[in-house]
Structure 1
Amino acid sequence: MTVAVKKNNFKHDCSSTRRKKKVKNGTKHWICKKVKDFLIEDATLGARELQKKIKEHHKVHIHYKRVYYGQKLALQQLYGDWDSNFNNLFRFKAQVENSCPGSLVIIDHYTINEKIRFRRFFFALKPCIDGFLNGCRPYLVVDSTFLTGRFKGQLASANAVDGHNWLYPVCVGVFDLETNENWIWFMSKLREAIGSPRGLAISTDVGQAVMVGVAEVFPQAEHRECMFHLVSNFKKYRGKVFDDHLWAAAYSWNTYLFEKHWTEMEKAKPAATNYLRKCHKKLWTRSQFRTICKVDYVTNNLAESFNNWIKDLKAINLDDFMDKLRQLLMVKWNQRRKIGKKLDGLILPHIIKMLNEKSRELILEVSESSEDVAEVTAFGGSGFRIYYLTNEPIEKHVDLYYSIEKFRAAYSALILALPDKSQWPKSKHEFFMHPPLLKAVAGRPKTERHKGYSDNKRKKGQHQCPICKDYGHHWHNCKKGSKEDIEAMKAVRGPPKKRKNTIVSDQSSIMALEDEAPTASMSFPPSQNLEATTTKKRKHADLCSEASKSSQSMEISSNKKGKLGNSNSAGSKRSRSGSNQPEGLSIDEPEGVKKGKGKRKKVISKKTPKKKLVLDSPAMGTRSKMVQPASPAMSTRSKRRLSL
């Protein structure tokens, strides 16, 4: 029996009743209307994320390409057209100069095929410039990152550090490529903004263009090099000796420790130290830093922090990016100004707390000079010697860069709020600045940087304990597991390894004077790899001595026999090269060596006592005959003379 239902007379409220009779496809205009709210919250959302959100909220699957065009239309309506955003920089400049006089907004352009196009941009707010000069230490980290929008240019930045060791952005710049010309232009505008403060130190990576820019514009500044980039370029030289001594040499406070670690690396691999002498001549060790700027950083982590701070803004148009960056600075300045108003005293509490924590780990030796003055030497760690006045508090011995007054001066100036860009004043320039010419790039657009070889070794997530299966601790510190399980794990894996402290010294550090001129480049210890060269010279000298002995004996025998005119005599035979020395083929082989086809083969013979060469020997011609005085930096080397 078959039943067919042709009509349902009962009322129902399923979703199909709310649909219209004619269903239309989702167009880019419909998608633009639906995704505007998502893009207002986060302008970096891609077409794939918007496609998922449309599927989640509207239960409709739209093709990726149509979502992309709808996203593009929405961004154009929200943030303006691509062709006009570079020309809007002139309006942004006029608004900033009206609201914040003294700020530097410099736009550079050039003409290509009778069209004026964007070239470079520099932006520095007046409160940032004054705060750096009045409240921050004279230290700058200069680096660049790539933009991820339609314009794949470089965003350069100069960042400082305040008394609280917080990031302090000073200025930014935009150009197409990292060339010598662009970096010299950026550094010249930076000098125009801040001048040349006393004791200025600039830290960069090992990029050739940025190093040329610093050397050209700031020749008197102390030029430091990022240790992380040095290690990344040092990847062809690997081994435990470099893991133990390369970073330790960078963190060494005095010359003694630096030379100690340097000697260990040079003994293990002379080619590695020669590479450092040749390719990394800028300052990268604390033992050679000046103390005026009061910053001992050996990496460019400040620049990486700034890049991470603005990474979500790198895809939007340039005029909106600069306005968003100004807004971030305005909020950050306001927060830290409020913090400065709540502080009381002379030195920042964070610095006092850090000094108290470090003082608990010190082993001190006190040598009194009088009732009020004593000489205090610290053992362990870096080692240092200070003069301490017993009647004065520790705050008076801290530099004023860490004072509350300096911290307030860094954020005292206000960064005023600006109206929406639709209300910016009209610029007086009488031309339209077109966007820069874009270069075709193979593959999909890159939104993340290329990771180095050391980044791949970093594990994502937390460590999982194999006993309790929880995260955040190791098995030997597990509190939830039983003792039997921990003992069983210890029997399988062995006891946990303890980290070794590689930097231990009881020497006093000798720091540079504050009025001393900056070091132009790294000063490396003299080369100590004499063993490899002396062994080669020794072999050559042995062969030459045997050759001279054989030639002398042949001359004596020829004189006795009276056959000086014989052409077969080795003493009268002329060399093919034109010299008066005997040919190598006529030299008698020394004992213990047999002739063979191609290479010479050594024959095992009885050991004979080695002859020690005198200082006047020809084999010692490459070494200095002056006896070097004993140095405390050479105490790690063996005191036994080289056996020649």
Structure 2
Amino acid sequence: MGVELGEDSEYADSDAFQSASSTDEEELASSRARYPEFNGEVDMKNPQFKVGMKFRDFKQFKEAVRNYGIQNRYVMNFRPNTKKKCKAFCKKGCHFYLWVSPMVGDKSTVQIKSGVFKHECSKDHNNRHVRANWIAMNYLEQFRANPNWAISVIVQVVKTNQKVNVSRLKAYRVKCIAHRMIDGDEESQILRLHDYRLELIRTHPRSIVIIECNEDVFEGIYICLAPLRAGFLAGCRRLVSLDGCWLKGLYGGQLLSVVGIDANDCIYPIAWAIVRRETKDSWTKFLQVLAQDLRINDSQQWAFMSDRQKGLMPAIHELFPNSEHRYCVRHIHTNFKQTYKGKTLKDQLWSCARATYLSAYKRAIEGLKGMSLGAFEYMKKIEPKHWSRLHFHTQFKCDILLNNMCEVFNSQILKLGLRESLQ
């Protein structure tokens, strides 16, 4: 049975109950004081409606109705839905409805004037009110505790707790929204880059943080934290790994990184920079600042490990002409196998790279020549001092053949990038 306020059942604007028998102002004020007020912090989890219940505004009322639909598995529609009146009713056409409009004495407050509060239809397991924003907000603490919450688990948890089916796509959007709530979004964070720079310098004195802008447009940033720089110069070998990776965030760009190796043969991040493109100019600027930070005055005392990126190779050759420049053998093989395929040639190439004395290297390279003259000529074009252990300088006490140090660092950056954009 419906309960109404005022003389007109649905379009009533009066604040008094229909049963009010006195027009005395004190009685009317007392009646108004008894009207229940909706408490958003307490009642929003499981809304219970009554005739006369007051809401802060239409937005709060509609949010409460949607939460009611989620908790009870009903889909609600709103029509009419204007600044002066709103009716919430069941999508399946049963008698349930809520009619609200502003109070006469307080136009900013809306009130349920009439309604039927009992459903006569079946519950719905495909509830459009269970939106991605709602799920992210209600499960925010779970995402905070476990940022890597799997999509399949999100689907199952919502189905178990809310008795509602959600698609994997919606669960993916939920994860994006939750991570954005926790970590912030790139648009707001990039506006605070100068604050970020000042905070890094405050917490890590003597750090180098350079932001490059062109007519107030962000072009790039270079970061070398003082504790990392001091630790590397104090106790690490003068061998560094260079690499770049694409950033998958909103603004894209590439991350250039320099990673060293510590006494336990573990990676040691030194410096990194964000640039628009990985070119010779971007690498040159990056390495010039790096040379100042690491006090590279005599390049003969330094070794660099990298892939054969066209912009990076000439930059190292120009800035550090006397240094040892090693090429990642995996990167060499990636190009090698496009023409010379097969495990036999691959193993022979690695035998050449791993040889540690002259006779072993000669046997391996002659073996490669006997297998494929083309493969031999291909490797002959790359000087062995760049990729064979036999030809590496012993002063660095390191015979690595791969650029794994930067690859590990980049893999973690890409995971963070994916979390920020999901994008």
TM-score by length of 2: 0.63
Q: Could you tell me which residue of structure 2 aligns to residue 451 of structure 1? A: none
CA deviation profile, 1:76-113 (whole Å, cap 9, x unmatched) = 433334322112221111011112111111111223xx
Work out which of the residue numbers 119, 125, 147 in structure 1 matches 2:247: 147
CA distance in 2, matches of 1:147, 1:243: 31
C-alpha spacing 1:288/1:40, structure 2 compared with 1 (3 Å): same
Whole-angstrom distance in 2 between the partners of 1:311 and 1:57:
33
1:367-516 matched pairs, under 5 angstroms: none
Residue 206 of structure 1, aligned match among 308, 316, 323: 308
| Deviation of the 1:239 alpha carbon | 5.0
Task: Say which of 222, 226, 229 aligns to 1:126.
Answer: 226
Q: 1:59 and 1:253, CA in 2 relative to 1: closer, same or farther beyond 3 A?
A: same
TM-superposed CA distance for 1:269, in Å, is 2.2
Is the partner of 1:140 in helix, strand or coil? strand
Corresponding position of 1:58: 162
Residue matched to 2:195: 91
Give 3-state SS (helix, strand or coil) of 1:315's partner: helix
User: Are residues 1:268 and 2:375 paired?
Assistant: no
Per the alignment, residue 157 of structure 1 pairs with: 257
Q: Does residue 191 of structure 1 match 2:191? A: no
**In the alignment, residue 54 of structure 1 is paired with which amino acid?**
V
Instruction: Quote the Cα distance in structure 1 between the aligned partners of 2:173 and 2:373.
Output: 59
Aligned-pair CA distance for 1:187: 1.6
Which moves more between the two structures, 250-259 or 26-35? 26-35
- Matched with 2:184 is 80
Q: Post-superposition shift, 1:39? A: 2.9
What aligned pairs does 1:164-243 form with structure 2 within 5 A after superposition? 164-196=264-296, 199-235=301-337, 236-238=339-341, 242-243=345-346
Computing the radius of gyration from Cα coordinates, the structure with the larger value is 1
Which amino acid in 2 is paired with 1:142? L
Q: Name the amino acid aligned to 2:318.
A: E
SS in 2 for 1:141: strand
Match of 1:105 in 2: 209
Deviation at 1:150, TM superposition (A): 2.5
Distance 1:152-1:21 versus aligned 2 partners, 3 A rule: closer
Residue in 2 aligned with 1:35?
Answer: 139
Q: Decide which moves more: 296-305 or 59-68.
A: 59-68
Q: Is the 8 A contact 1:249 1:261 kept in 2?
A: yes
Residue identity in the other structure for 1:82: E
Query: CA separation in 1, counterparts of 2:180 and 2:348?
Result: 54
Are the structure 2 counterparts of residues 231 and 84 from structure 1 closer, same or farther at C-alpha, using a change threshold of 3 Å? same
Could you say which residue in structure 2 is the equivalent of 1:135? 235
Cα distance change of structure 1 residues 118 and 66 upon mapping to structure 2, 3 Å threshold = same
CA contact (8 A) 1:85 1:317 kept: no
CA shift, 1:200, in A, is 0.8
Q: CA deviation at 1:181?
A: 1.9
Question: Cα deviations across residues 313-351 of structure 1 (Å, max 9, x unaligned)?
Answer: 223559xxxxxxxxxxxxxxxxxxxxxxxxxxxxxxxxx
Tell me if structure 2 keeps the 8 A contact 1:35–1:50. Answer: no
Pair 1:66–1:299, CA change in 2 (3 A): closer
Tell me which of the two structures has the higher relative contact order, counting C-alpha pairs closer than 8 angstroms and 6 or more residues apart. Answer: 1
Match of 2:8 in 1: none
From the superposition, tell whether residues 300 and 34 of structure 1 become closer, same or farther in structure 2 (CA, over 3 Å): same
TM-score for the superposition, normalised by structure 1: 0.43
CA distance in 1, matches of 2:379, 2:217: 42
How many residues are treated as equivalent by the alignment? Answer: 300
**Which of 250, 253, 257 pairs up with 2:356?**
253
Q: CA deviation at 1:173?
A: 1.7
Residues of 2 paired with 1:241 and 1:82: CA distance? Answer: 48
Local SS of the residue matching 1:108: strand
Shift in CA distance, 30/185, structure 1 to aligned 2, threshold 3 Å: same
Please tell me whether the aligned partners of residues 345 and 371 of structure 2 are also in contact (alpha carbons under 8 angstroms). Answer: no
| Residue in structure 1 matched with residue 394 of structure 2 by the alignment | 291
Q: Give the deviation of 1:135 after TM superposition.
A: 0.1
Q: By how many angstroms is 1:285 displaced?
A: 0.4
Question: Following the alignment from structure 1 to structure 2, what is the Cα–Cα distance between the partners of residues 64 and 239?
Answer: 40
Q: CA deviation at 1:46?
A: 7.5
Deviates more, 1:309-318 or 1:230-239: 309-318
Tell me the SS of whatever aligns to 1:314: helix
Q: Which residue number corresponds to residue 352 of structure 1?
A: none
Cα shift readout 1:203-243 (whole Å, capped 9, x = no counterpart): 10122122223223222211000111111211122456534
| Structure 1 vs Structure 2 CA RMSD | 3.0
Give the conservation status (yes or no) of the 8 Å contact 1:230–1:280: no
Partner of 1:535: none
- Alignment gaps of 5+ in structure 1: 1-15, 319-443, 446-644
Q: Relative to structure 1, is the Cα distance of residues 309 and 317 closer, same or farther in structure 2, using a 3 angstrom cutoff?
A: closer
Please tell me the residue identity of whatever aligns with 2:295: G
